[in-house]
Homo-oligomer: A and B are copies of this chain.
């Protein structure tokens, strides 16, 4: 695994060339591609040239964000899927192989099984198009009870459910986005990660939790940087990834507004050191 920079996940809005510079300068192993930037480059050759520059800086690609809203009204959804092959072509040209999204863990109208069918249905279509573009789709389950318990019908919010959903789609290019924060809030431990393989994991987030809240009180958008509080067993989490032979990106996504108020270089020095400790 390698440390991966996502400026957006830290709250910074900077352009993609600057992100590349910062990733290289602060010793990250890679960075998340900015699909919008690649699209605006216009031609495949311009994209390839840009990607060559990234590689020359010694950087790998992390994971792009899926430009399809899984929860859109059906006409919007099929229109987005019909345009998806074109939309992600720049990612293929750049050599990106990972793209991802998160799964909403509740619904006010669709009960669990109807919601499951909607997910299987839509993910199959999306994954099929992405397979044609050489992309693996990562799905992130969301663990906090303060989130999944807010509507009438809780939905999947655990690793086991996410793996079964992926199996149910029958798609060979769907895998997991694992986040220590969701693993912790879902009440999971190292045993739940046993048996995972690199082929199942598309991307990883590592975060810590607040130490003044119980597990069930944690909020999805209020986390801590890895190793901040020690609430989450990040050593166990990292060890499981090593056992799985995981080779992909690891980033932080703490949802701490205070970060973007600090000098970006200070923040990245700190984040890079924490990720360095994690990837070992």
Contact = CB atoms under 8 A, between A and B. Distances in A.
Contact of A113 (B122, B132, B149, B161): B161
Contacts of A229: none
A125 B78 contact: yes
Nearest to A120: B117
Interface in A78-118: 78-79, 81-82, 85, 111-114, 116-118
Contact of A82 (B82, B132, B145): B82
A210 to B, nearest CB: 20
Contacts of A85: 75
Interface string A69-81: 0000011011101
A132 B132 CA distance: 31
Interface string A151-177: 011101010110010011110000000
Contacts of A113: 112-113, 116, 161, 164
Nearest to A83: B82
B111 A74 contact: no
Max chain B Cβ within 10 angstroms of own Cβ: one of A78, A145, A161? A78
Interface residues of A, number: 39
Interface in A124-142: 124-125, 128-129, 132
A187 interface: yes
A121 interface: yes
A259 interface: no
A244 interface: no
A190 interface: no
A1 interface: no
Nearest to A164: B113
Contacts of A78: 78, 81-82, 125, 129
Given A117-B124, A145-B149, A75 B129 contact: yes
